[in-house]
Amino acid sequence: MAKMEVKTSLLDNMIGVGDMVLLEPLNEDSFINNLKKRFDHNEVYTYIGSVVISINPYRPLPIYTPEKVEEYRNRNFYELSPHIFALSDEAYRSLRDQDKDQCILITGESGAGKTEASKLVMSYVAAVCGKGAEVNQVKEQLLQSNPVLEAFGNAKTVRNDNSSRFGKYMDIEFDFKGDPLGGVISNYLLEKSRVVKQPRGERNFHIFYQILSGASEDFLCKLKLEQDFSRYNYLGLDSAKVNGVDDAANFRTVRNAMQIVGFMDHETQSVFEVVAAVLKLGNIEFKPESRVNGLDESKIKDKNELKEICELTGIDQSVLERAFSFRTVEAKQEKVSTTLNVAQAYYARDALAKNLYSRLFSWLVTRINESIKAQTKVRKKVMGVLDIYGFEIFEDNSFEQFIINYCNEKLQQIFIELTLKEEQEEYIREGIEWTHIEYFNNAIICDLIENNQTGILAMLDEECLRPGTVTDDTFLEKLNQVCATHQHFESRMSKCSRFLNDTSLPHSCFRIQHYAGKVMYQVEGFVDKNNDLLYRDLSQAMWKANHSLIKALFPEGNPAKINLKRPPTAGSQFKASVATLMKNLQTKNPNYIRCIKPNDKKAAHIFNDALVCHQIRYLGLLENVRVRRAGYAFRQAYEPCLERYKMLCKQTWPHWRGPARAGVEVLFNELEIPEEEFSFGRSKIFIRNPRTLFKLEDLRKQRLEDLATLIEKIYRGWKCRTRFLLMKKSQIVIASWYRRYAQQKKYQKIKSSAIIVQSYIRGWKARKLLRELKHQKRCNEAATIIAAYWHGTQARRELKRLKEEARRKHAVAVIWAYWLGLKVRREYRKFFRANAGRKIYEFTLQRLMQKYFLEMKNKMPSLSPIDKNWPARPYLFLDSTHKELKRIFHLWRCKKYRDQFTDQQKLIYEEKLEASELFKDKKALYPASVGQPFQGAYLEISKNPKYKKLKDAVDEKIIIAEVVNKINRANGKATSRIFLLTKNNVLLADQKSGNIKSEVPLGDVTKVSMSSQNDGFFAVHLKEGSGAAGKGDFLLSSDHLIEMATKLYRTTLSQTKQKLNIEISDEFLVQFRQDKVCVKFIQGSQKNGNIPTCKRKNNRLLEVAVP
């Protein structure tokens, strides 16, 4: 099998141009044609310098395999063909080796493949960083956070079946070795309006369809849900099913990912209950009802849905019903309650659903951050990955598109600034003269939107906050007054509009000239969406819920924390988030991935030139190429440059002995390249025009063909000489082997003839000897037969004589026996009477009983109470006697055994009996403890001078003294402690110094928890609020668990007159200070022998692996 060809440069076997900086000529048509040519050959990645252009192929390609990961690992950025792995590797190595924080900015419009690009970046980094159990756990948690966030934050749109409807920025934290420690996720502007309404042909968020398709019937019954999508008003039916998407399988993936990330079972259940509540909110409908005072109010049509929502959330039904019908307004010390009409009630319902889902999503991000955050305090290196919505231009553009496009304006601004900065720094670093580059600065557009005085967002906030009647039209009027003279703002009333009579710009719209093109926004809904109001009655109703998660999502509903201050608007919140993001990105070294969608059909092998052209324009890719080409189009380090082109000069071929720069200077002088076409930096050669580079490539290609011809000629001569020598050697070998073969054949023929002659002579001699032996054998056999016949005749005669004699003797004996019997019968006939049979029966019974008891005396078992042997019953009529005798004997030997016990031995057996009642058939460790005596004082504190200090500190009698292992919550490691049990207290002391660390009265011990498996782990639970419970419960491990638990149980019962609760379960909670940690016992491997191991999985889970 031929080896796969490995490229050593971006320029080798290039399809089109791999780096757009080298494109000649450079214009929009050539740019698009180059992308199309590469796309048709499955080359979906192209460079613009260090920027990666990614075209969505809409089908899987075999370019993301583990072999590809190894191919790009630790390779120069331009060494191989363009790939997203090359950029990922460059960013990771810069972070690891040069200690530079990195950020990867992934931009593009919806459906361009941004989410998949971020997954590929994270999977590559996870594949090339370090290994190990803890590192692999961190990597798995970081990767598994994606399915959870995608399920709750992604949806099917007309442009993308898995469109991110929120912005995500993840900071992955690494240690000094480059191994991941954890991460932090930030989310931006979830499209919560999708919860209550979706455009035609689109779906709600994935999780709603996944839970209805993948959950079991029992689980759906607990959530008060049904599998029928048509039952829920919030779910669009025209796109409920998506081709190629298995919602049921995705639901199982999400639940598994939540478990890996660290969600507890009750947390997962709470999340799905909130999702179910949101889904059922859409089914609440209202009807109008007139009051006596003439005001309209709303009533709920069917209260069954409301009842089920209240059962799910633990809210009083009357409280939630009132919140949907009335609104309370507070001003200083006054409260005014007004009724809600049907339209206002529907608004309140939808606002609650949107806020509930939005806050749940924010809680999910916070909960994931708790699990994946770095646990160590060491200095960290950070790699940020930004996956955020791209520029959006729809037929109807509203507040969401305005905010999204504002974010993209800021990203474009920082992209141009950082690109120019990077280019300038490289020129200064290499000592090349920097020339100013003209480019379009979109700061004026950003200022139009975000200016604190005259910006669109500032005026929108001002309209939302001012008293009086506020509508979208008043907001548009204010825009026309303030922004009328701005060159990037247009409306029907503005002075800059060139289309005052153009009906394509309605009165209720305004247009902004973005860097990507003009976008027309409809002001309808701007004020409401910016206000994002949720009536205080609904917040307070949610806070009153018995559902812990829902109560935590609405802290402002707490009556004790009522804040009359108006909450910040959605626009101001997003503006602050974007400012924080920009500040964060400016502190890191940027890496860019520009994603392009080839067509709107989401189909493979289709390249729409017009659509791609539109994206190239608003991404500013041509401008980016011009910035990179404004100085020098190509640059390369001296060593690879000399290595690639050294065959073009005799002085540098085949080996150059001097410095690489000197070799490049000699090479370029020999080729007579004009001096204005290149410049020498400190470590790189800079080439101004791509034509110069292509000329070098053409010369190299011709030279390689000449060298290939020379190599071919030398190889053919060597091959012919080698073949001749091989044939000559073969001829000699064949001749020698033939001569050997001929002699062997002749020898074999002579040998065969001699053997035939010998065989004939030996056969004749053998036949002669055989005839003689046969004659001798016949003579011997005749004599033997005659003797045998004679001996047989003699034996038969003797046997006949003996039989006759035996018959005579037997006849005499029979006759004598009959005669004696007759004499006895005649002698005793006179003594027999009518009762002779009963006496004989009684006599027989007496003899049988006597025989039975004498045999029992000899067959009696041992006096051990545990000996279950007993002689077999000899006669059936003695069955009851035999059983009673066995019972009496067992009672007697048990009494004899008990009479031997001392008082101390009786106490030990009482403890053993107590242990049997507590642990038999419950704890797997119990059978092994049955044969072990309970000693109590294992350390002999009174005799050991090492523990003199501890002995003096304890005045009471010590019931048990044992060394135990105290488990540390932070890392699951064990620390040796001395465990002392007295009549009134439980003490823990340091094993080395003997100092008492903790002293707990027996009255403060509430429960002892342990697993049902074969381990020594147990938890001592303390009473909440007691003085000893300040640091929380104790999690200990002992080799004498059964004895310690039994003595603690008996001592507590004796002192407090209350039974101590012994809980045996493979999963229980332990209180550590303010947190509750779940201790879970699982079946582990045999790596550590038969020793159970404890390991921290996350902040709320300790896992004990029992062999």
115 is catalytic: yes
Q: Which of 422, 411, 409, 386 is nearest to 589 (CA)?
A: 422
Nearest 5°: the CA angle 447, 524, 489 is 30
164 is catalytic: yes
Distance between CA 843 and CA 862 in Å, rounded?
A: 32
The residue to which tokens 């309808």 are assigned: 524
Q: Which of 673, 689, 682 is nearest to 629 (CA)?
A: 689
Distance between CA 515 and CA 833 in Å, rounded?
A: 140
Instruction: Please count the residues of the chain.
Output: 1107
Residue 315 falls in which region: left (phi positive, over 0), alpha (psi -120 to 50) or beta = beta
- With contact defined as beta carbons under 8 Å apart, do 157 and 207 qualify? no
Distance between CA 381 and CA 182 in Å, rounded?
A: 11
Burial of 59 (0-12, 13-18, 19+ CB in 10 A): exposed
390 is catalytic: yes
- With contact defined as beta carbons under 8 Å apart, do 1009 and 1021 qualify? yes
Sign of the Cα torsion 982, 988, 990, 991 reads positive
Q: Output the six-digit token pair for 505.
A: 């710009």
Bridge partner list, 833: none
The one-character DSSP state at 568 is P
Distance between CA 1066 and CA 451 in Å, rounded?
A: 60
111 is catalytic: yes
942 is catalytic: no
Q: Output the six-digit token pair for 669.
A: 């002088």
Residue 591 sits at φ, ψ, to 5 deg, of -135, 135
Residues 6+ apart with CB under 8 A from 532: 569, 570
Range list of H helices, 466-555: 472-482, 526-531, 536-543, 548-553
Cα 669 off chain centre by: 59
33 is catalytic: no
> Hey, is 1025 helix, strand or coil?
coil
451 is catalytic: no
The residue to which tokens 């919602």 are assigned: 247
The single residue of 392, 400, 426, 490 carrying the catalytic annotation is 392
Sign of the Cα torsion 316, 320, 325, 330 reads positive
Bridge partner list, 169: 186, 386
Distance between CA 428 and CA 417 in Å, rounded?
A: 16
The single residue of 163, 213, 531, 652 carrying the catalytic annotation is 163
The single residue of 390, 557, 631, 1016 carrying the catalytic annotation is 390
Q: Output the six-digit token pair for 652.
A: 């540098």
Residues 6+ apart with CB under 8 A from 625: 20, 21, 23, 26, 31, 48
Q: Output the six-digit token pair for 61.
A: 């390609």
504 is catalytic: no
The one-character DSSP state at 658 is S
Buried b (16+ CB within 10 A) or exposed e, 781-800: eeeeeeeeeeeeeeeeeeee
The single residue of 34, 54, 88, 110 carrying the catalytic annotation is 110
- With contact defined as beta carbons under 8 Å apart, do 443 and 450 qualify? no
The single residue of 108, 111, 557, 1032 carrying the catalytic annotation is 111
Residue 335 sits at φ, ψ, to 5 deg, of -125, 130
Distance between CA 144 and CA 1098 in Å, rounded?
A: 15
- With contact defined as beta carbons under 8 Å apart, do 1000 and 986 qualify? yes
The single residue of 34, 164, 591, 624 carrying the catalytic annotation is 164
CA gyration radius, the chain: 48
Buried b (16+ CB within 10 A) or exposed e, 256-291: ebbebbbbbeebeebbbbbbbbbbbbbbbebeeeee
Distance between CA 180 and CA 138 in Å, rounded?
A: 7
Q: Which of 704, 565, 592, 719 is nearest to 644 (CA)?
A: 704
Q: Output the six-digit token pair for 694.
A: 């292509």
The single residue of 160, 204, 270, 442 carrying the catalytic annotation is 160
- With contact defined as beta carbons under 8 Å apart, do 1028 and 1022 qualify? yes
Q: Give the active site residues.
A: 110-111, 115, 160, 163-164, 390, 392
